[in-house]
Amino acid sequence: MKTLVIASGNAGKLREFNQLLAPLGIDVRPQAEFNVPEAEEPHITFVENALAKARHASRITGQPALADDSGICVDALGGAPGVFSARFAGEPRSDARNNEKLLADMQGQTNRAAHYYCVLVLVRHADDPQPIIAEGAWHGEILSEPRGEGGFGYDPLVLDPSQGKTVAELPHDIKNRISHRGKAMAALLEKLKLYPL
């Protein structure tokens, strides 16, 4: 069984990756099991941050590593919070404070369009010259108040019009299938058929 280090400490992301990769016989391990500290994320694009995190985890563990960088991009805010989604309201990270800031910034906005965006980068080793890169997007609208108890991050504020529910109201199996991360993972799995671990 192949081991794949997930370059994240986010419990929600780890749970989703486990559900998506377990059927493939890939032993998914969080980087914390290898005492890998969080990587710096100094870049202004999702793909550069994901690549930096994957190389960092692979360099320390000596294992293949998968990293994602994802966030929410709100049209009326010029794509913000974007790569700063996890720290939108500053440090320490707080979903509740991030959601409060987003709601405050959206007051009076008529354009409520937004999308979650995810880039996945898999490296077979730290200096992999051909990382596997996949992306996915999930379009929705920002509500004026939260709904639902599931998910994490901005999920209670993001309505999926096709489902008529917020991301926080969706069952895990549906969310995993239609989410930005689910779409990126499907694209990654297709690429893994051509370039296996």
Structure tokens at 45: 């694009």
- Two tokens at 186? 């499907």
Which residues, other chains included, contact 83 with Cβ-Cβ below 8 Å and sequence gap of 6+? 41, 43, 44, 45, 46, 49, 69, 71
Specify whether 127 is catalytic.
Answer: no
Confidence at residue 118, expressed as pLDDT on a 0 to 100 scale: 96
Give the mean pLDDT of the chain: 92
- Residue 180 near residue 136 (C-beta atoms within 8 A): yes
Query: What is the predicted pLDDT for the residue at 1?
Result: 67
Mean pLDDT, rounded, for 106-118 = 97
Determine which of 13-17, 45-49, 67-71, 108-112 has the lowest per-residue pLDDT on average. 13-17
pTM, 2 dp? 0.88
Task: Please tell me the predicted confidence (pLDDT) of residue 76.
Answer: 97
Q: Is 139 annotated as a binding residue?
A: no
Catalytic residue, candidates 69, 95, 128, 173: 69
- Each residue of 80-90: pLDDT tens digit? 999 999 999 99
What pLDDT, on a 0 to 100 scale, did the predictor assign at position 22?
77
Q: Cβ neighbours of residue 155 under 8 Å, at least 6 residues apart?
A: 148, 166, 167, 168
Q: Which of 8-17, 41-50, 95-104 is predicted least confidently?
A: 8-17
Whether residue 77 has pLDDT greater than 80: yes
Q: What percent of the chain has pLDDT above 70?
A: 99
Residue 40 annotated as binding? Answer: yes
Q: Kindly state the tokens that stand for 124.
A: 């077979």
CATH top-level class of 2-194: alpha beta
Chain segment 135-194, per-residue pLDDT in tens = 999 999 999 999 999 888 999 999 999 999 999 999 988 888 899 988 999 999 899 888
Question: Known binder of ligand: residue 108?
Answer: no
Q: Which residue's entry shows tokens 């994901």?
A: 50
3-state class (DSSP) for residue 118? strand
